Structure 1
Amino acid sequence: MTKCLILGIDQPVAQLMAEQLTEMEVVGFSEGDKNADFYGDARKAATYMEAVKGVDVIYSDFVGMDVDWKLEAVFTALRKQQQTVRTVMRSVAGIDQEVDGPLTYAGITDVKEFLKQQRYGIKIVDEAEMPYTVLRPIIDDEIGSTQVQLINEGQPVPVKPVSAAAFAQVVVDEIQNGTHVNQSIAVVGK
């Protein structure tokens, strides 16, 4: 049975998608919820040594600042265990000025630093030389669409939000089917 580790299991999207992954074993890591399967300082590799054992797929739903430090710690743990996994990473639209309008990021005051950390987090995942998919959504539960469109890296991205539930479905599909391996895809509303 495929085993999936969800980083940031306490986040709304992670919870929505975990409920849908019924045909695989799901374990979660949280830096805030001590009741998660694994809990600890997300910026330390030692925190992940047990969490990554036997895992086939990792989904990172780390949001906010320091995603680069957190992913570096995860991949350090994987290298120490000489373990290869497929990673699906949630990032954000706008990391390469590909969005065709203004975009804000909830809870982020230093947008320039936040986007720099997102870019570096993606670089860590890419340079690990393991299969990966980066999903760059625009999520807004109040006005977000339930219909999604996927846009390849390098293409213009319209400011059309999707709902968290619609994005969670995209993540589930990617984890189950691996349709966009080694690609970075924007996820927006139709």
Structure 2
Amino acid sequence: MKKILILGANGATARVVIQRLLQQEDVKLTLFLRHKGRIGNLGSGRADVCEGDINNPDDLRAAVRGQDIVFSAAGGMDLDEKTHAVIAAMKECGVRRIIAISAGGIYDELPEPFNQWDRAMVGYTRPVNLAVAEALEQSSLDYTVLRPVWLTDTPVAEFVLTTKGEMYKGTETSRASIAEFVAEVANNPALYVNENLGISQSGTDGDKPQAYR
């Protein structure tokens, strides 16, 4: 049984990831969030809810201890600080595998004119998300950085991956595709170790995401 900790478990992306992982019988989830009443009843005996504050080292260590994989869907403008806290807790508890969400655009790797549009819309978040990626790359953990762009709820699980230094493809990333990616790593934790990957959908090229055209 693989034990997977979900950080930021109440978020929209994390909820899709949780439902996908619960389809796999060999997975046991720990769902970490500030207020456990927000998650509701998942109807599964393979998902434990752990209430805590990611900024509290004791809470974080208690959640991380004994896990095989950590998936971080945490957010906020202090995400870099949260990421450093997660890394520290993992090292203290001897947990090595982490998948964490950063964001596309942190290397100006989005094709123009989409890159210019994205920078105008959410460019203020890029320094924090870049710091997240750099912290993981320097952590000595078995990390995977995921760089989605504009998130959608379309039920498309297929994804296109681009490596660091490669021009991004597409303007949208479905939450379902992030869930599928995490499920693949749950099946084989050696996949994508120490990689920094853009994740998006084919057929979404353009100057901006479809919802904004």
If the TM-score is normalised by the length of the shorter chain, which range does it land in?
0.7 to 0.9
Q: 1:154 to 1:144 in 2, by over 3 A?
A: farther
Q: Is 1:115 aligned to 2:126, yes or no?
A: yes
Deviation beyond 6 Å, 4+ runs, structure 1: none
Q: When the two structures are aligned, how many residues end up with a matched partner? A: 186
Letter matched to residue 88 of structure 1: I
Q: How high is the TM-score relative to the length of structure 2?
A: 0.77
User: What whole-Å deviation, never above 9, does each CA across 1:73-124 have from its counterpart, x for those lacking one?
Assistant: 122223333x13200111110011001123548xx98733x21111222222
Matching residue of 2:53: 41
Residue 135 of structure 1 is matched in structure 2 by 146
Distance 1:32 1:99, change over 3 A: farther
Equivalent residue runs for 1:91-102 within 5 Å:
91-100=102-111, 101-102=114-115
| Identity among equivalent pairs (%) | 24
> Is 2:105–2:118's contact at 8 Å kept on the other side of the alignment?
no
Distance 1:142 1:79 in 2: 34
Amino acid at match of 1:49: R
CA change 1:51–1:163 in 2 (3 A) is same
| Amino acid in structure 2 at the alignment position of 1:153 | K
The 8 Å contact of residues 3 and 57 in structure 1, kept in 2 or not, is answered as yes
1:107-152 per-position Cα deviation (integer Å, ceiling 9, x unaligned):
x98733x211112222222222111111111233267965421111
Cα distance between partner residues in 2 of 1:109 and 1:141? 16
Matches within 5 A, 1:4-43: 4-21=4-21, 22=24, 23-34=26-37, 37-43=49-55
Paired amino acid for 2:33? S
- Describe the SS at the equivalent of 2:90: helix
Q: Which residue of 1 aligns with 2:82?
A: 70
TM-score (structure 1 length as normaliser)? 0.85
Listed one character per residue, the Cα deviations across residues 44-93 of structure 1 (whole Å, up to 9, x for unaligned) are 32221210110110000112321111111122223333x13200111110
Alpha carbons 2:154, 2:176 under 8 Å: kept: no
Q: Tell me the C-alpha RMSD between the 2 structures.
A: 2.5
Q: Distance in 1 between matches of 2:155 and 2:169?
A: 13
Q: Which residues of structure 2 form unaligned runs of 5+? A: 40-48, 203-213
